[in-house]
Amino acid sequence: MKDWHPDLTRSSSPRYMAIADLIEMDLRNGVLAAGDRLPPQRELAKRLNVDFTTVARGYVEAQKRGLVDSHVGRGTFVTGGESRPFVLETAPDPRRALAADFSMNMPPEPDDPDLIARMREGLATVAADLVPLLRYQPFGGAGMDKDAAALWLARRGLTPPPERIFVTPGAHPALLALFGLLARPGETVLSEAITYPGMRSIAAQLRLNLSGLAMDGDGILPEAFADACERLAPKALYLNPTLHNPLTSTIPEKRRAEIAAVAQKYRVPIVEDDAYGFLPLSAPTPFAALAPELTWYIGGLAKCIGAGLRLAYVVAPDARAAWPFVSALRTGNVMASPLTSALATRWIGDGTADAILRFVRAEAGARQEMVARMLPAGSYRADPISFNIWLPLTNGWTRSTFVTHMRDAGIGVVAADAFTVEGEVPEAVRVCLGGAISRDRLQAALDFMAHALEGPPAMAASFF
């Protein structure tokens, strides 16, 4: 380990920036060299008589500049600021890497070489039929794509006939088309009191009155749903019932049956956004199986395979209900991309999709274990395989101060305002654990976050 003791007075930047500046300076003047291991963050904080958070943030900034690499359990090492060679076969284009959005709730990205090679083999096989895939395709998917969709949906216990299955260009366009059919401007649709932000955006775009239902740890309250049916005459109920975004909760079997019974009594259509339903090894029965005559089921691939596919499999309640849906979706989207449909079909057929899903489950579980080691039990909400945690704020932290404080730490934090439909906005945030961030970067960011939460914001801010 390099016995590095920087003089912070050599830089006029804030102290955390000064640490990164001095790593860069000492690389140029030969004090540091590639391969040197820097002092542990807590040890350097003690040497410099600064707060640990200052050093943690300084190391994060140095890593952003390509000056250091951090490895869990090994430490932080100087890289020399040298750019890695670009290899066409294996290296991603850095211009695409810059497009990563850490505030999105995304599955961890595969990094296993064997799995990536397998994914590429599927893409190469699809490329053999490239020219036909550049043509317009039948709306709702070609026959083989519907067969693959049926195979995938069977994992959730759903076995609809082909005429009720549609391959669509993502869950969001499907939701937009559905709610445009189910309700007119000014009419009411229901959702959880805290719900997926995309649903809020869709309701606003369509000028619908989105009313949030009271919830407990098991999801919406059946009595609140029944009361809203009596008072508001809702046109539909939107639910994200498995690994709810952002609360990470799953509606248990008994509660699902109670909600389905209310929907059947009042004949209220259910739109089931099962984005995360394929992740648990054993998830509760979908609403599409409990109340099939009322439920529009959306099984997106964004959270279990990858958002870049832009595919979702939609199951209509019956063939007749599907006709206006087809018309509405075609008006806005024409068709799902034949290229991505073919790739998803290939991966489902040859087992690659299952391999990706196993990786996502394992990596999400490992990241949740990291959080459990860093944050006190009971201080946040999470599921062992969710991509995020729901973090109520304490010690005087507010949503705005915490989001601002975390902005430069390389971790996605979204304030509760984005999710709240009904009632007072809680002082809470969604913290994203997946996407493009590596496990090492995530560890450093969680360390930074955990330390900040130990005291009030004024204490954390005083060291920058």
Q: In angstroms, rounded to a whole number, what is the distance separating the alpha carbons of residues 278 and 118?
A: 21
Domains annotated on the chain, with CATH: 8-78 (1.10.10.10), 94-111+353-461 (3.90.1150.10), 116-350 (3.40.640.10)
pLDDT of residue 405: 87
Report the side by side order of strands in the sheet with 413-415: 388-392, 428-432, 413-415
**Cα angle 142, 347, 88; round to 5:** 115
Cβ(76)–Cβ(37) under 8 Å?
Answer: yes
Q: In angstroms, rounded to a whole number, what is the distance separating the alpha carbons of residues 196 and 231?
A: 24
Instruction: For residue 324, report the phi and psi dihedrals to the nearest 5 degrees.
Output: -65, -30
Pairing of strands 188-192, 209-213: parallel
pLDDT of residue 441: 86
Instruction: For residue 404, report the phi and psi dihedrals to the nearest 5 degrees.
Output: -65, -45
pLDDT of residue 90: 46
pLDDT of residue 84: 38
Cα pseudo-dihedral 41, 47, 53, 59, rounded to 10: -50
- pTM for this structure? 0.80
| pLDDT digits (tens), the chain, 464 positions | 668 988 888 887 888 889 988 999 888 888 999 889 999 988 999 999 988 878 888 888 888 888 988 776 678 899 876 543 333 344 556 555 545 566 789 999 998 988 998 898 888 888 888 888 888 888 888 889 999 999 999 999 999 999 999 999 999 999 999 999 999 999 999 999 999 999 999 999 999 999 999 999 999 999 999 999 999 999 999 999 999 999 999 999 999 999 999 999 999 999 999 999 999 999 999 999 999 999 999 999 999 999 899 999 999 999 888 889 988 888 888 889 999 999 999 999 999 999 999 999 999 999 999 999 999 999 999 999 999 999 999 999 999 999 988 876 667 799 999 999 988 999 999 999 998 888 888 888 899 899 999 989 877 654 44
Would you mind telling me the total number of residues written for the chain in this entry? 464
